[in-house]
Amino acid sequence: MAKEGPKDGAGGRPPRDLAQIRAPEIAAAKPAPVPRTEPSFSDRSKTEAKPGSQPDHGQLEFVDGKEEASAENASKSAHAPAPKKETALANLRYAYRPMWDNARNVVSAYRCTARVPSLDDGTALVDAGVVVGNDAAYIHQLDEAVRGQVLQDLDALLRDNCTLLLSLPVHFETLGGVARRRQYAEVLGKRLDDRGRKLLLIEIQGVPQGVPQTRLVELLAPLRPHCRAIMLQLRLDTVDFGNVKGCGALAVGCDITGHPGPEFMLMQQMNRFARAAEDKTGLPSYVHGAGSLSLVTAALGAGFAYIDGDAVAKLIDHPRGLVDFRLADL
């Protein structure tokens, strides 16, 4: 069994590491060793481990029950009428997806995922974002609910002196309006203390292609004081990353969950994304939804620094701290 996980990204270059980036304006950083007992995403400050926060060398516990519904059922849910959407959002189920930092061989970040019972038969769970579709009102409602759950779970982790990172997803649409953006940031400011801010990641989903850098700066500025780092989830076919550099984000990524088409074509797109992101921004990249070992291998070869998906670890009910995780554990 291998003792060490992969150290090199594409072309022999080490994957980028957020902990080495001290300011958003820095385009690249030189690799430096980081203690495994520290979370890997970092802002300008350094998070100190609290008592009882040593890495857990056990196995990740998986959520029991059925996996997500098929893409066909999810598509049907996306076109559901408003009353059914309201019912679905009233029955949100939360879980966390472990994210693997393959350069450090550790899982230190957990991404909150909201799911709802399928609108077809109510037995399978589907992504809540698929159900709400493009309806702005329901997107806002979903984002507020997820924020409340993440902050509640973060409070519990802090009481237990557990040092890990929680990733809070929020849609671009929710932050688009000035009033709603201010309200969203104010809630974070009221609920988080210094310890909480150092353990919170914010991931902005659905960033449109070609959005001006000034617009991104406008959206990110109110959030940056309330979290450790901000990540931008972009489309997989993004080729122009010029607007991302210097906007305040500390990582860029994509989601390949349920991506249609042959896997070999998906791998080519992943490779183009990761290489372009590094060349144009100097930021570390991440990928959600690697559902097979071949996709994990492709992600490693492309140079993605952070990888999640069923092939790495399935959804878990509650984050359980830093977990030692290596290539041999796949």
Alpha-helix residue ranges (DSSP H) falling in 9-135: 71-78, 82-89, 128-132
**Looking at residue 87, what is its pLDDT?**
79
**Looking at residue 227, what is its pLDDT?**
98
| C-alpha 313 chain-centroid distance | 14
Q: Which residues of the chain have pLDDT under 50?
A: 1-37, 43-79
Going along the chain from its start, the domains and CATH numbers come out as 10-329 (3.20.20.450)
Q: CA 108, CA 102: separation in Å to the nearest integer?
A: 11
Q: CA 173, CA 142: separation in Å to the nearest integer?
A: 12
Contact 169, 127 (CB under 8 A): no
Neighbour tally for 149: CB within 10 Å? 17
**Looking at residue 41, what is its pLDDT?**
63
Supply the angle between the helices 293-302 and 263-281 in degrees, to the nearest 10.
Answer: 30
**Looking at residue 117, what is its pLDDT?**
85
**Looking at residue 14, what is its pLDDT?**
42
Contact 114, 94 (CB under 8 A): yes
Give the residue among 238, 237, 252, 256 at the shortest CA–CA distance from 298.
256
**Looking at residue 177, what is its pLDDT?**
93
pTM score of the predicted model:
0.78
Give the residue among 52, 56, 51 at the shortest CA–CA distance from 36.
56
Between the CA atoms of 206, 209, 210 and 213, what dihedral angle is there, to the nearest 10 degrees?
A: 30
**Looking at residue 72, what is its pLDDT?**
41
**Looking at residue 133, what is its pLDDT?**
87
Phi and psi torsions of 120, nearest 5°: -80, -60
Q: Is 54 helix (H, G, I), strand (E, B) or coil?
A: coil
**Looking at residue 182, what is its pLDDT?**
96
| C-alpha 59 chain-centroid distance | 21
**Looking at residue 82, what is its pLDDT?**
59
Q: How many CA atoms lie within 13 A of 244 on its CB side?
A: 30
Q: CA 166, CA 309: separation in Å to the nearest integer?
A: 16
**Looking at residue 46, what is its pLDDT?**
38
Neighbour tally for 135: CB within 10 Å? 16
Q: CA 92, CA 198: separation in Å to the nearest integer?
A: 27
Helix (H) / strand (E) containing 106? strand 106-117
Strand partners, 117: 125
Give every CB contact of residue 38 below 8 A, 6+ residues apart in sequence.
19, 46, 47, 49, 108, 163
Q: Is 285 helix (H, G, I), strand (E, B) or coil?
A: strand
User: pLDDT of 65-108, one tens digit each?
Assistant: 334 334 444 444 444 555 577 877 888 999 999 999 999 999 99
Q: CA 150, CA 166: separation in Å to the nearest integer?
A: 7
**Looking at residue 40, what is its pLDDT?**
62
